[in-house]
Structure formats: structure tokens, C-alpha cells
Structure 1
Amino acid sequence: MERAVTVSLSLEGFGAEFKSIEQVTNKNFSYLFNQGVMINPTLLLVLTSAPVPQAESGASSEQMVAIFLMEIVLMLFFGRLLGELMQRIGQPAVMGQLIAGVIIGPSVFGLMMPAAYKMIFPDVVAQKKMIDAISQLGILMLLLLTGMETDLRLVSRMRRTAFFTSLSGIIFPFTCGYLLGEFLPDSMLPDPSQRLVTSLFLATALSISSVKIVAMVIMEVGFLRRNVGQIILASAILDDTIGWIIIAIIGGIASGGSVNLKVVGFAFLGTIAFLAVSFTLGRRVVAYVIRWTNDNLIIDMPVITAILILMILMSLITDYIGVHTVLGAFVVGILVGQSPILTKHIEEQLRGLIVAFFAPVFFTVAGREIDLTVLKSFYQIKIALLFILIASFGKVVGCYLGGRVGGLGTKEARALAIGMNARGSTEVIVATIGLSLGVLNRDLFTLIVVMAIATTLVTPPLLRWALSRIPPTGEEKERLEREAAEAKEFVPKLERLLIAVDGSLDGKLASTLAGLFAGSRKIMTTVLELGQGERRQTLIPKDKSGELVKSSVEVGARSQTESGQEDSAETPTLIVNRMSVAELSEGIRSEIQKGYDMLFLGIRHVLTSSRENGEENMGGVGDLIQQFKGASALAIAKGNEKPEATTQALRILVPMTGTDYSRRGAEVAVALAKASKARVTVLHVSPPSDEMDVIRRPNEPLVAGRALVKEVQSLGKREGVSVRALVKVSNTPETAILRQVRRGGHNLIVVGVKVRPGEKLFFGRRIAVLLDRSPCSVLLVNS
């Protein structure tokens, strides 16, 4: 079937027949708009991607595929190579990919070797659409990744400054860009009758900062976690989101220099409703889909497939309401980034494909659209400089004034204005959309991209200069030190916790401690309960252990709110499964494979059981602990106090050595103390001087011991936990620990251990003695 017939059939309901797609996109676009039809970029791309007969292309499908693969190879090779070179000189890789597109485009390759250029990049619609399809998918993938890297807490924390900066930073350059479009000569416009739409596109293209470029620049200069860096990024997030809504509405509902208020209202209200639903119900749906897919499907990378499906579905929804598909992809990225589990894992898997394939292809395709012959005259060069000056003036002045109104000082506002002037990828995407809609021609497209490249190239050195004059002080300095310390710890990196308990005292103790730990750290938690009967799953079970975990999680979550580190006492997701004793080890093994960072165990006789004694289930649990790659914690209830009463007034003792697993035990102890508002005593036992080897100085172990306990005190200070430090000298550490338990009235020992290979769980002779003789409960943190 001919392409014209296909279009005619699809549009005959509107009372018109079109002989070519060009008539739809150019001559009759206003007709469809005036009929109330929502025309958006995706519809146009679908229509213009209609099949072309082989006679028109002059090449077989096999030849077209071969040419397509050759184009991909050139784009990947030159895009990645020049991206590498740009990064080596301190510029973002995207700049190199745009320059690569210029080199293999008509401006260089086409001018120097026209015959070879036409062979590799033939002027055939179907051939172009093959690359365009990859490029359009690349846009969605880039916005998905950008959304995952977006931290909405930055917007909340710096909302006043970010709001004024973003608002002022859009209004000023938008006004300048609109005036520029109104005064451009008719010869530079694709259609003088659509000057309004072209002016609006220019205004938007000149007013949006690129979140991706801004984030890359701030990251490269090492200011991503600085206050001013967070303000810049938060402002860019608002700026970018508002900009995409504006560009989507303009691209979807404006035509022929007029605006349909009905369509504008539908697009605007639809966008508001979409964002409201996405950030309320959508957050839970995305988190549930990620967890369910990860836990129930056994194929390779099911979560990635689920996320891509969500991205496309959300893009179709935004397409339907009349805004560009990129908004849907961006929102899905934000929701995935806020998922309580697998966030880093998902980002790593997606980033490789996007950075290595989609980004080079998209930006190289965009670079190929740049026609430098536009700058062949001095007049055109002046126009390009005018674009750069107007865009920079509007953005810098607007953001500087917004920063000052938002409460920033002169130096901070200056750095903010310079950082927000980085454009790059967003302007290229906007210009590509405008070009595909026909409201921008190749000349204006080139001028916008040249402006984007120029503003981005000058931003890193200027931003380094501005930021170097803003040293961290006060609260910011303390926060940076805290984040640097947490980067070396393992507790802040935990995303998912598994609790396996029975109805014993050990199980009750583990349930309560694990609940406190999960609540204080806001970690997604699954509870496996041992009992009689069939396996079942419920969100709030009636079983005692589940209730203990739930109540403890709520206590731990409240502790975070009261300490001022969280805005709300929202508890993390808690799921409870029940299984029979017969399926104990196999059930835990199956659950572990779903991806957990830490395992809490409270099972009677788990330490004393082995396969030699015929206790297959318990021995299997011991094997699991030895094979588990994450950290595990074993609760052993002792003493006269009930586990529930013990955790209401914790008095924690932490024996410390110089090992990494000992340090991890201290981290868990501090987290428990913070959740229960308890105190921690950290004890290091040093050997007597007469037992020192000849190489070491007599007081060296004492100095090292004091340094160890001081580190834990620093950890407690950061977390708001009181830590008492003790260094004792004894040739029997376990005896010194037990003596301190009695003197200090401690009711819980938290000790870092490392499991030794064997038929049953064994953590060394000293730990065995401690477990045998301890008058209070013990939590063994194995890693």
C-alpha cells in the first residue's frame, strides 16, 4: 500500500484527504489543530516514519540494514573517541559526541568527501528513520537515567532558593528569547506565519538548563554534595521540569501562530494530574513492580525489562495528554531512583547501555544536523554570537537575582548563576523536537546547538573559579565530613533486610532488634516466620514475631524523625512470610536469592546444631550463613529479662578489635542505640606489655586501642548516640568483657565476628567462651 493511501485512511474521519505526509505536517497542521485534534511530536514521528516503497529508496532491505550498521559504527567510534578526548581536557563527554556528529555530518565529511558521505548517509527517508528511531529511544533512555540521578530531597531542602532561582532563571531568558524570535527577519524563519510558535520554541530553548550537563559539571568539579552544588542541581531540576512542560505544551498544541485554549487547558491540567498521581500512587506502584519482578521472575534482568516497559507506558500517557514523551520517561526515572531496593544495581545496569550506545548515537545524530555553512557569512556569525550573549545574559542575570532573593550571598549567587548557564543536552533535545515539528529550520537548529555548546564549554572553568572562593563552613562542613565517613561504612549502604525467626526467645530478640534496626535505617524488610501450617504471605500478620518486628520498626522510624534527620515517620515496607519448620533452610535459601544485603537470624539451637547430629534443617541454615555474601546477625537470648523488656532499655556493650568485621559490629550497635535511645559502651582489651613481640613498642597496642574506640565515639557523635570508651589490659579478653558486663549492668553484647568453616557455626574460641558464660543476650554480627 502506498504511504499516501495509509495516511488518507487514518485521517479520513477528519473530513480531509492528504496526498502526502508533508501536507499533514506543514500545510494542514493548523486544520487538524483547529478541529481540536491533539498534535504532538510523537504522532508526527509516527506519521513520518510510514513505510517507503523500495522503489523510492533505490536499495534492498539488506543494503539498508548494512548502511544502518555502518552509520552506527561511525557514530559509536567517533562519538566515544571524541568524548574521551573532551573528558581528558575537563569537558563533558557529550560535547565530544556533538562535535563527532559535526565531523561525520555534512559540514566536514560531506564537504570533503561528498560521494562517500552520500553512500553512508543517503538522502532516503526510510534510511533516516532507522537512525531516528534509535535516536528517539535514546532521548527516553537519557531522561530515564537523568531522573534516576535526580534527588527530590534536594528540592525540598533548598526549596525557597531553588524556587526563586528557577523561576527567575526561566522568566528572564524566556523573555529575551521570545523578543529575539519576534525581531528575527522573515528569511530566518521556517514559516513566517508561525512566528509565534517559533518565538516560543526559541524562548524555551534559551531558558532551560540541562540537568544532565549541570550535574556532570558539578560532579567533575567535586561540588555535587556542597550546599551551592545542591542548590544549583535543585534549581536545574525545577528548571528542567518546568521547561519540559512548557516545550511539550508548545509543541503539542500550538500551530499557525494561534493557541487553542481548550487544548492548552487539557494539556496543562493533564500534566498536573499526571505528576500528582505519579508522585503519590505511582511511587508505590513502581516500588512494588520492582520488588515483585525481582522476587518472582527467574529470567535474566527482569527488573530492567519491567522498568523499560514502565518508561514506555508512562511516555505514552504523557503523549496522550499532549506533552512530550520525555516527561514520562523523566518521571519514571525519578520514581525508580526513589525505590527502596536495587536502585544502585538498576542504575549500573542501565547506565552501561545508555552511556555506551544510546547517548553517543543520539548526540552524534544531533551533531550531524548542525550545518556550519550557516556561519559562512559574518552576519550569521554575529547572529550566533547574539544567541550566545542573549541566552547567557538572561540566564546569568535571572539566576543571580533569584539566588539573592532566595537568601544566598554574593559569591554563592554568582556561582549559582554560572552553573545554571550550562545547557548542552537539553537544548539539543528541544531543538531536535522543534526541527521535527517544522517550527525550526536547520539554520535556527544550528544556532541553538552552537549556543548550547558554547555555554557548556565555558561553564566548567568559570564554575571552578567561582566555587574555589566558597570554602565549606559550619553545618555544611560537618555534613560533608559525615558523608565522607559514611561512604566508608557498610550500614548506610544497606537497602534490603531479611529476618528469619521462630517463636523462641532467640526469635523474639531477633525480631525486636531487627525491627529497631530496619526502622531507624528505613530499610525494606522481609520477615520469615517459622510455624506450623502452610506457607502464607500477608502485609500485617497476626503472628507474634511479625507484630514485634512491626512495632519495633515504628519505634525506630520515630527515632529518626525525633532526631531531625527525617521529615516524616513513614515506616519502610514490611512483608511477612510464614513457613513450616520442615522447609526452613530451603525457604531461607530461596528468599536470599532475591537479593538481600543483611540477614537477621533468631532460631533456637542454630549455633549448636549440625548435620552430624542429624539436624538437617539447622545444619543447612549454618551453611547458608557461611555462604551468604552479605552481613548476618545472630541473636542469642540469655538472662532473666524478656527480649521485649530488654530492648526497651538497652545497655549495649561492644567489644572492639582492629578488624573490619569488628567495626561493622560497632556500626550495628550504634544504629540500635539510636533507634532505642540507648547508650553504648565500647571496650577494647589490649594484651599486657610482657606479651608484646620484640618488634612492637610496649605502648603501641594501647595507642591503637584508644584510636579504635575513638573512631566509634566519632560514629556515635555523628548519629547522636552517647558512646563511652574503655581500654583495658588483660591476657584473657573474654574474661575482661564478662567483668565489664557485670560492672556496667549491660543487657546486650553486640560483637563483630567472622564465621569459621566447619560442620556447625563456629566463630572462634573466645566467642564460644563468651557465648557460654555471658549473663546477658548477645548479637553476633558476621561479615
Structure 2
Amino acid sequence: MQWSPLRPVGLVPAALVLTTIAASAEGGKSAGPSEFLLVAQIVLLIAVGRGLGEIMQRIGQPSVIGELLAGIMLGPSLFGWVWPEAQHAIFPKTPEQKAMIDGIAQFGILLLLLLTGMETDLKLVKKVGKAAIAISIAGILVPFACGFVLGEFLPDALLPNPQQRLVASLFMGTALSISSVKIVAVVVREMNFMRRNVGQIIVATAVIDDTIGWIIIAVIFSLASQGAPDIASVGRAVLGTLTFLVVSFTIGRRMVFQLIRWANDNLVSTAPVITVILLFMCVMALITHLIGVHTVLGAFVAGILVGESPILTRQIDERLRGLISSFFMPVFFGLAGLSADLSVLRDPNLLMLAGLLVVIASVGKFGGAFVGGTLGGLNRRESLALASGMNARGSTEVIIATIGLSIGVLSQNLFTMIVTMAIVTTMAMPPMLRAALAKLPMNKEEEERLEREEFERRGFVANLERPLLAVDESVNATFTAHIAGLIAGMRGLPITVLHIGQRAKEQEKGRDEDESHEAVVKKAAETVSVNGDGEAGGVDVITRTRRAELGETIADEARKGFDLLVIGVDKVTASKERFDRKIEDIAAKFDGPLAIVAAKGKHLKQPMPDTLNILVPVSGSGVSKRGAEVAVALAQAGSGSLRVIYVTTTRDKGAQRGASRRLNQEEGILRDTGDLAARYDVDITTTLRVNRAPEAAILREIDTTDVDLVVMGVDRIQGDHLSFGGVADAVLRQAKVSVLLVSSGEPHRGPPQTS
């Protein structure tokens, strides 16, 4: 049977009837809070919310709209209007029962802000900072002024406490000026504009809007809690907020990274990193509460710090997103919808005020963002796209409205009007933004940047997050540590040094501190920061010592999420075309990419060279490109030279046919490698050789040039022992200079694809 997008809605009446009957029976047993009713409420909110969210996504709307509509359907606006007895039975207004699900919703707010913070890309804000800040200021001031003026003229009947009109007006200004980062980012990403200039500015502006909005909300919360304007208390709240932010983004950033890595590397229980993140979020929320501002600011900042952690961010994000999206979001937004009684809009005056609120919010935000875009240097079409994107309030608006209702700044009717405004502006934004973005052409500079970023996105080095360095006490280990430090230093990657020698602990204690592998890694990384653009450099190094059998030690480390294992041991090869047993044991327990280093020649005397003269063979295969990437990165970091050799073999029977086509292919491969080097400002020398045996041509190139390191991208060949094919084996054994083999992750079936 073909699936119908409306089929989930058919479950709603049946679920409501069954739940109502059961709720009525349960309600007759006890007047106190009921666990049964709590579970029934959660079941309905999740089932209806997720079902409507699915439908919304299929028609191009954010799923949060479906979750809000689910609450409106289950609340007094529809279900309570059609069958009030049943609605009251399922969602009674007794304080004890309401407090049970409200507690879940309040924790859901913190988790939603944590996730929002994790999605906040501060690097993007820095990248387009000047334009985004200018646009954000105008995009906030205009709608904020409109909301403040509206708050000053609201009838007293709409305010829960007319004596606190100033607080309500400030709250209205904030509510109208904020945008939803999540919904803006979803639409921009869906349109493939996330990496376009205007797309980055739109998202960065929304991030700044959100951040400023949460700070303002925190201060308003402090103001509201005083009962009357108090300059001293507001001053304390502002000073406390600024201090909190400064400490968070200095000491806090480092602390979060250390916490995440410690939990990931040392705790053996299920999902320990998630536990640490949730505890950290709660502590940050408690801190902001203690300094007199709302807990949401602490959760939001905690999310930003977690998102900036250089390790495991993808896995963390996926696990948290699943829990929040499937449980807490439908419960929270469903409850927000339940609190919004749209039946009050049958009053012509309230309906007119709600319409006026939507118009003022849309015109204020659209106009402010358009003016800001123009002042920020965007053209008319780009400013139009920006203004279209900024008008979505979405989940952010609902969270703010819920906070306003809970602290007594908003009345029930005003809350309903704001939720209505959030729904209308959010549903209008996606089609408007899609239409505006579709008309934006791409300039040459932007096209070149996108090509470069797309290449890096598909690249190997640019996507490394956490390398593991396995070394013993040999000279080769020191040279390997130098190589690993250069790779890690290119992007400031945290690196773990694992000492695997039999006497590793005693040997390391006996070493001079400046000669330790950790010191070698750090020194190499600092060299990168001097030679590079200043963004790379200092790396965080942690030391581990082998405490069990070699295979068991590597297996334990492999479970911690490393994406590259760099091996440096005294003996690399053994007899009969095999690697040393130690290397085979290591490789057998690590499924990811390997980098095996063999120091030779001058590197045995000088394992920490000032420069590297590199030769990289290329063939056009995927592993060959990976080797070329590593070679280019090392050439850039090591301030040396780079030679590229392509060997065309005469082994094939048809070698004499199609010479012209083959020449074009060879030139294309060399040109691609040249383009790769040019992206990193590395000068290269290219060589084309014709030889029946590729290994012979590579070895001859080594003997006739001044290279001191060969970097080869190789495939792991499936078999009963570690092998990278005959070409790699010949170069590794016969070359008189150092060799670095960079392998693919999984064993390759079939003929080897070496460089």
C-alpha cells in the first residue's frame, strides 16, 4: 500500500478516544497527580507532534510548526472546543498534575538551547564578522524599537502587571527583534547556500541576533524579578553576564575540551560524554541563575563551548539531537501550543491586535535587516534575501514567549498572540527565502572559493579531527613525532602520544624534557604556526603508556574515536616482503587510516629537520590523492620543496595504442596535483616518467634528486598479513631516504592501487 502523508493524522482520533477513556477511569481513582496521566500526555504530544511535524517537512515547512500545531489541536483551541470534558480529563489544570509535565518542558528548554548553541558557528561569525555585525545591529534596533513602542501602547488588560509596563515593553522589543537560527540555517542549507557569501551572512547574522537576544532576555529576567526598575540590580546582572561570558570563552573553552576528552578516554560506561555534557549544561544554567539571569543563557553558552570542542562533535551532536528531537521538542512545543488558546482571537479587538503584531514584527524585522544589509555592503537582491531569512521566529520565539509567561511578563492572551506571530512568520519565511535565493547569481570570486571549500570538504587532511601517535624509544619514533606534529599543527588538532615500547615508561622518564616525543610534537606544531597563516600551531598533547599486550592496547585506544594512526617504531620491515610483527599487530587492531614512517638517511642523524624535501608519486587513484594531500600539507608546514612524479607504465598490452589519450590523462593528473599545491601556496616540480616498473622509476627519481622523504598513498590489501602492494614494498625497502606510507582505512579487495 502506498504511504499517504495524511495517514498519521488518522491515528489521532483513536489515540484521543482511548486515552480519554483511560484518563477518565484514572481520574476517578485519585485526586492527586497521576503518573498514568503524565505518560498519556507525553504519548499524545509525541505521537501527534511528530506526525504533524512529518507532514510539515514534506510540504517544505519546519517540523517545529507541526509540533506547535499539535499542541494547539490538543488544547482548548480545537480539542477543548469540540470535546471539553475529554480535554480536561487528559490535560487537567490542577497545579500538581501540570507541574509534572512542566518540569519536563523546562528541562527541554535547556536542552533546546544547548542544541542551538552547538549549532552556533562562531568561526562563521568571525569570517563575515564586520558585515554580519553591522547588519545585525540594524536588524535588531529597528524591530526592537517597534516592539518597545507597541508594548508602551498595549491596553492594560493585556498586561498581567501594568505597573511593570517597562519590563513588558522591553520583552516585546526583544521578542520582535530575534530570529530563529535553527530554521534559518535549515532553509539556507536546503538551498545549498550555506557556503555562499549571502548564506553565511544570513546565518551569522541570525547567530548574533540570537546571542544578543538571550543576553537581553537574561537581563530582563533580572529586572522582572526585582518587581521594579532597579539600576543597581540591573547593573549587577549586566556585569555578572559579561563576566560569565568572558570566563566561559576563555577558561571555559579549555575546560570543556578537557572534560570531553577525559570522559571519552577514561570512562567505560555507556555514553559517558553525553553525561558530562548534560552535567556541564546544568552547572552553567545554575551559575547564570545564581548571578541573577535566566538559566537559558547558561545552557546556550554551554552548547557553544561543546560545539567548539575539537573532538567528537559529530558523534555528540547526532546522539543529543536524536534524544532532543524525538522526545523533548514535541513535548515542549506541544505544551506551548496547549497554552495558546486561539479561541480568544474570536474577539475582533484581539484578532486585530494579533494581526497588527504580525505586521509590525514582519515590517520591523524585514525593514531593519534590509537597511542593515544595504549598509553592510550587500546589493539589493542580497539584502532582500537577508531580510526574508531574518523574519522567521520559529522555536526561538516560542521559547522566549514561554519564559515571558512563566515569569509573569506576558498575559495568557499576549502569549497566544506572540505564538500566532511566530507560526505565521515562520511559515512565510521558507518560500520567501527560497524565491529570493533562487535569483542570486554567483560571482567569480565566490565560485573559486566554493570550489576550494568543496575540495577541502572531500579531502583527507582537512577533515582530520584527532590523530593517535604510536611510538617506541627509537630515532625513527622521534622523526615520526616530528611528522605527526607538522600534520596536527596544520589545523591545531589535539593529539595523543601512545608509548608502546617494552620500557617506554622508564625510557621517557630518563629522557630530557625537551627530547620527549611530546616536546617534539609541540615544537613541530609551533613551527607550523610560524610558517603558516597564524591560524594553526599549538596543539594539545596527551600521553599514554602501554599497560597491556600491544594488540589490546591499540584496540582500547581505537575505540576512542581516532581517525588517523601514525606509527613510528624502530624496526619497520621484516624478511620475505613482510612488515615487522609489531606493526602488523598494531594495524590488525586499527580499522582507520594508517601512516607508517620509516626514517632513513640524514633523518637518522637529524630526526627533527628544519625542512623536508618531498617526493610524492601520483597515479590519479583515491589513495594517491590522499598521499598527495599529506605531502602538500607537510611541504607547507615543513618549509621544504615538493616534487611530483607520475609514472606511465608499459606493462599493458595496449600501451602503444591511444598514446594521445593517455598523454592527456597523465597531464590532467599532474595538473590536478598542481592545483592542489596551489590551493596551499606550495610550489611544486612535476615529472613524467615512462617505465615498465613504476617502482624503478620512483627509485631512480630519488637517486637523481635531492629529496629526503617519499610520501605514498597506498591501499591496504586484504590478506593474512599487512600488505600495501609490490610498488610500495619495493620503495620502502630499497629507497635510501625516509618513507611515509599513508593508507586507506579498509582493506582493499583486488589489485593494489598504490601510488
Same fold by TM (over 0.5)? yes
CA separation of 1:502 and 1:740: change in aligned 2, threshold 3 A:
same
Distance 1:129 1:759 in 2: 63
Q: 2:145 aligns with which of 162, 172, 175?
A: 175
Is the 8 Å Cα contact of residues 520 and 559 (structure 1) preserved in structure 2?
Answer: no
Q: Does 1:684 align with 2:646?
A: yes
- Matching of residue 519 in structure 1 with residue 480 in structure 2: no
Alpha-carbon separation, structure 2, partners of 1:709 and 1:111 = 73
Alpha-carbon displacement from aligned partner over 1:514-565 (angstroms, at most 9, x marks no partner) = 1111111221111234445449899994444333222111112333325xxx
Alignment partner of 2:635 out of 652, 669, 673: 673
- Out of 740, 753, 756, the residue aligned to residue 701 of structure 2 is 740
8 Å contact kept, 1:607–1:761: no
| 1:173–1:203 CA contact under 8 A, matched in 2 | yes
Aligned-partner Cα distance in 2 for 1:641–1:494: 26
Give SS of 1:454's match.
helix
Residue in 2 that maps onto 1:48:
none
Structure-2 separation of matches of 1:534 and 1:749: 33
Shift of 1:496: 0.7
- What is the total number of aligned residue pairs between the two structures? 717
- Equivalent position amino acid for 2:571 in 1: H
In the alignment, structure 1 residue 573 sits paired with structure 2 residue 543: no
Within 5 Å, give how 1:40-119 maps onto structure 2: 60=30, 64-119=34-89
Structure 1 contact 162–231 (Cα < 8 Å) conserved: yes
- Residue 307 of structure 1, aligned match among 277, 280, 288: 277
- Bigger drift between 414-423 and 335-344 goes to 414-423
Partner in structure 1 of residue 4 of structure 2 = none
Distance 1:287 1:205 in 2: 33
Residues 1:406 and 2:372 aligned together? no
Match of 2:748 in 1: none
Q: What is the aligned partner in structure 1 of residue 563 from structure 2?
A: 597
2:599 equivalent in structure 1: 637
Mapping for residues 535-614 of structure 1, pairs under 5 Å: 541-561=513-533, 566=535, 570-578=537-545, 584-608=550-574
Question: Quick one: which amino acid aligns to residue 377 of structure 1?
Answer: D
8 Å contact from structure 2 (residues 33, 96) kept in 1? no
Structure 1 match to 2:671: 710
Inter-CA distance 296–538: structure 2 relative to 1 (3 Å threshold):
farther
- Rounded to whole Å, the distance in 1 between the matches of 2:510 and 2:166 is 58
Which secondary structure does the structure 2 equivalent of 1:258 belong to?
coil
Distance 1:149 1:751 in 2: 37
Q: Secondary structure at 2:573's aligned position in 1?
A: coil
Shift of the alpha carbon at 1:262?
A: 1.9
Structure 2 vs 1, CA of residues 538 and 126 (structure 1 numbering), >3 Å: closer, same or farther? farther
Cα distance in 1 between the residues matched to 2:721 and 2:606: 29
C-alpha spacing 1:532/1:426, structure 2 compared with 1 (3 Å): closer
Alignment match, 1:661: 623
Secondary structure, counterpart of 2:643 in structure 1:
strand
Distance 1:579 1:441, change over 3 A: same
Question: CA separation in 1, counterparts of 2:511 and 2:217?
Answer: 43
Q: 1:433 to 1:539 in 2, by over 3 A?
A: farther
Q: How far apart, CA to CA, are the structure 1 residues paired with 2:672 and 2:510?
A: 42
Q: 1:750, CA displacement in angstroms?
A: 0.6
Give the root-mean-square deviation of aligned CA atoms: 2.8
SS state of the match for residue 259, structure 1? coil
Matches of 1:471 and 1:110 in 2, distance apart? 50
The reply on whether 1:286 has 2:256 as its aligned counterpart is: yes
Q: Which residue matches 2:3? A: none
What residue identity is the alignment partner of 2:79?
F
- CA distances 1:313-349 after superposition (whole Å, capped 9, x unpaired): 0000011111111111111111111111111111111
Cα distance in 1 for partners of 2:113, 2:684 equals 45
Residues 214 and 420 in structure 1, CA contact (< 8 A), matched pair in contact too: yes
Equivalence for 2:353 = 383
Distance of aligned partners of 1:725 and 1:374 in 2 relative to their CA distance in 1, 3 Å threshold: farther
User: Whole-Å Cα distance in 2 between the matches of residues 756 and 747 of structure 1?
Assistant: 27
What corresponds to 1:489 in structure 2? 459
On the 8 A contact 1:511/1:548 being kept in 2, the answer is yes
Separation in structure 1 between the aligned mates of residue 603 and residue 47 of structure 2, nearest angstrom: 68
2:747 aligned with 1:779: no
Cα distance in 2 between the residues matched to 1:435 and 1:561? 50
Q: Is the 8 A contact 2:147 2:172 kept in 1?
A: yes
One-letter amino acid of the structure 1 residue matched with residue 538 of structure 2: T
Q: Say if 1:590 and 1:730 are closer, same or farther in 2 by CA, change over 3 A.
A: same
Partner residue in 2 for 1:726: 687
Equivalents in 1 of 2:735, 2:307: separation in Å?
A: 44
Residue 572 of structure 1 and its aligned partner are, at CA, apart by 1.8
* Residue pair 2:627, 2:713 contacting (<8 A) in 1 also: yes
Rounded to whole Å, the distance in 2 between the matches of 1:188 and 1:208 is 22
Q: CA deviation at 1:174?
A: 1.5
SS at match of 2:695: helix
CA-to-aligned-CA distance 1:466-514 (integer Å, 9 cap, x gap): 2233323243222211121122222222111111223333212211111
Q: Does the CA contact (< 8 Å) of 2:472 and 2:504 recur in 1? A: no
The reply to whether residue 420 of structure 1 matches residue 364 of structure 2 is: no
1:439 and 2:400 correspond: no
Shift of 1:758: 5.7
Say which of 130, 135, 140 aligns to 2:110. 140
Query: Does 2:221 align with 1:259?
Result: no
Asked if the contact 1:652/1:748 (under 8 Å) is kept, the reply is: yes
Answer yes or no: is 1:296 the counterpart of 2:257.
Answer: no
Query: 1:356 deviation in Å?
Result: 1.4
- Matched-pair identity in %: 49
- Distance (whole Å) between structure 1 residues aligned to residue 313 and residue 293 of structure 2: 27
Taking structure 1 as the reference length, the TM-score comes to 0.86
Q: Where do 5+ consecutive residues of structure 2 fail to align?
A: 1-25, 745-755
Moved more, 306-315 or 391-400: 391-400
Question: Take 1:663 and 1:717, find their aligned partners in 2: how far apart are those partners?
Answer: 15
Quickly say closer, same or farther: Cα 1:62–1:708, change in 2 above 3 A: farther
Equivalent in the alignment of 1:351: 321
C-alpha displacement of 1:682: 2.4
SS at structure 2 position matched to 1:523: coil
The one-letter amino acid paired with 1:630 is: G
Opposite residue 683 of structure 2, the aligned amino acid is S
State how far apart, in whole Å, the 1-side matches of 2:171 and 2:69 are.
Answer: 24
CA deviation profile, 1:21-70 (whole Å, cap 9, x unmatched) = xxxxxxxxxxxxxxxxxxxxxxxxxxxxxxxxxxx987549982222111
Give the whole-Å Cα distance in 2 for the aligned partners of 1:255 and 1:351. 33
Pick closer, same or farther for the CA change 1:448–1:380 going to 2, 3 Å.
Answer: same
Q: Is the 8 A contact 1:82 1:100 kept in 2?
A: yes
Say which SS state the counterpart of residue 91 (structure 1) adopts. Answer: coil
CA gap 1:535/1:219 in 2 versus in 1, 3 angstroms? farther
Alpha-carbon distance in 2 for matches of 1:539, 1:425: 57
The answer on whether the counterparts of 1:109 and 1:117 sit within 8 Å (CA) in structure 2 is yes
Which of 269, 274, 281 is residue 244 of structure 2 equivalent to? Answer: 274
C-alpha change, 1:434 and 1:62, in structure 2 (3 Å) is: closer
2:565 counterpart SS class: strand
Aligned residue type for 2:709: L
